[in-house]
Amino acid sequence: MDASLLLQFWGIALALTVTPGADWAYAIAAGIRSRSAVPSIAGIVAGYAAVIAAVAVGVGAVVAQVPMVLTVLTLAGGAYLVFLGLSALLARVDAPVASDRSLGGTALAQFARGAGVSGINPKGLLLLLALLPQFTSADGWPPSAQMLVLGGLHLLDCVVVYSLVALLARRILSSRPRASAVVTRVSGALMILIGSTLLIERLIEGL
């Protein structure tokens, strides 16, 4: 692989990961509303891993050529984000104590939600579809192998950044009970905003 392309992609992927969005919102919620944020973070990473694998084996290119599939994906992702946001807004928010139940039941449920946040986020899918192919070189490894390596860097960024987000949220907000409620509500509102924007954009494009 071309080392310069590798470094360029890593820099862009890191910049995108540290930009707040739906992943941040869910990582914050996991940090302050569960015993451990590990299942949620693992779910987010697994969702992105599935997307990366799909792009690497060529499914992403096929999907990009079928407008109806992209429309369905966008609508499903937007609706899911709105659902998560509404759940956060309507849920009872107490002081940030260790409680798996408050975030969605079992560790498996938290994992599934994390995978849903990233795995069916249309913006994430389109972003990876646009970025990964651009940073492959014609020489050396097959393009699919190069995209898997690039995707691996993105996953590493996600693990580090979202783990820090969850940890800092727990440590800082645990000493400020009222702040935890505010952050939870803001996170829920953020997911609703992102999801609604996706739905509106797709509906406008369909007119």
Q: pLDDT, tens digit, for every residue of 134-189?
A: 777 777 788 788 888 989 999 999 999 999 988 888 777 656 656 666 766 776 77
Q: What is the dihedral of CA 10, 16, 17, 22, to 10 degrees?
A: -150
Radius of gyration of the chain (CA): 18
CA max distance for the chain: 56
How many other β-carbons are positioned within 10 Å of the β-carbon of residue 66? 10
How far is 83 from 172, CA to CA, in rounded Å? 27
Q: What is the phi/psi pair of residue 121, to 5°?
A: -80, 105
Mean pLDDT is lowest, of 82-86, 87-91, 92-96, 123-127, for: 92-96
Spatial separation of the C-alpha atoms in residues 137 and 184, rounded to whole Å: 43
Residue-level length of the chain: 207
Q: Where are the domains of the chain?
A: 3-206
The structure's pTM equals 0.66
> Rounded mean pLDDT of the chain?
76
* DSSP 8-state class, residue 95: S
